Amino acid sequence: MEQENDFPNFPPECHSLLCKYLSKEIFDALKDKQTRYGFRLTDAIHSGVVNIDSGIGVYAGDKESYFTFAALFDPIIQDYHGFDPVDKHVSNLDPDDLDAPNPDPEGEYILSTRIRVGRNVANLPLGPAISKAQRNRLEKDLSDALMTLKGTLAGTYYPLKGMSEGIRSQLIEDHFLFKTGDRFLEAAGLNRDWPEGRGIFHNDEKTFLVWINEEDQLRIISMQQGGDIKEVFTRLTTAIGEIEKKVQFSYSQHLGYITSCPTNLGTAMRASVHIALPKLAKDMETFKAITDKYHLQIRGIHGEHSESEGGVYDISNRRRLGVTEVQCVQDMHDGVVALIEKEKSL
Ligand code: ADP
Ligand code: DAR
Instruction: Pick the atom of ligand 1 nearest to 112's CA.
Output: 24
For range 208-216, the mean pLDDT: 98
What share of the chain has pLDDT > 90, as a percent?
94
Which of 81, 103, 135 is a domain's end point?
81
Verify that 27 and 119 share a domain, yes or no. no
Q: Is 55 in the pocket of ligand 2 (CB under 6 A)?
A: yes
Confidence label for 303 from pLDDT (cuts 50, 70 and 90) = confident
Please tell me the predicted confidence (pLDDT) of residue 181: 83
Q: Is the pLDDT of residue 4 over 70?
A: no
Helix axes 229-244, 325-345, angle to 10 degrees: 160
Instruction: Pick the atom of ligand 1 nearest to 273's CA.
Output: 23
Which of 25, 56, 81 is a domain's end point?
81
pTM of the model: 0.96
Verify that 338 and 316 share a domain, yes or no. yes
What tens digit of pLDDT does each residue of 120-138 get?
Answer: 999 999 999 999 999 999 9
Known active-site residue 137 = no
Q: Is the pLDDT of residue 1 over 70?
A: no
Domain span at residue 54 reads: 17-81
CATH number at residue 23: 1.10.135.10
Known active-site residue 219 = yes
What tens digit of pLDDT does each residue of 230-256 get?
Answer: 999 999 999 999 999 999 999 999 999
Give φ, ψ of 284 to 5 degrees: -65, -25
Does residue 24 contact residue 87 with C-beta atoms inside 8 Å? no
Ligand 2 center from residue 178 Cα (angstroms): 15
Best residue among 232, 265, 270, 314 to mutate for probing ligand 1's pocket (most ligand atoms within 8 Å of CB) is 314
Q: Cα separation of 291 and 315, whole Å?
A: 8
Does residue 47 contact residue 57 with C-beta atoms inside 8 Å? yes
Q: Cα separation of 176 and 172, whole Å?
A: 6
Confidence label for 2 from pLDDT (cuts 50, 70 and 90) = very low
- The answer to whether residue 3 is domain-embedded is no
Please tell me the predicted confidence (pLDDT) of residue 294: 97
- The answer to whether residue 198 is domain-embedded is yes
Verify that 130 and 271 share a domain, yes or no. yes
Q: Is the pLDDT of residue 91 over 70?
A: yes
Known active-site residue 307 = no
Verify that 138 and 69 share a domain, yes or no. no
Helix axes 41-50, 70-81, angle to 10 degrees: 50
What tens digit of pLDDT does each residue of 52-78 get?
Answer: 999 999 999 999 999 999 999 999 999
What tens digit of pLDDT does each residue of 145-186 get?
Answer: 999 999 999 999 999 999 999 999 999 999 999 999 899 999
Residue ranges lining ligand 1, Cβ < 6 Å? 112-114, 116, 175, 219, 223, 270, 272-274, 299, 301-304, 314
Q: Is the pLDDT of residue 85 over 50?
A: yes
Beta bridge partners of 112: 225, 274
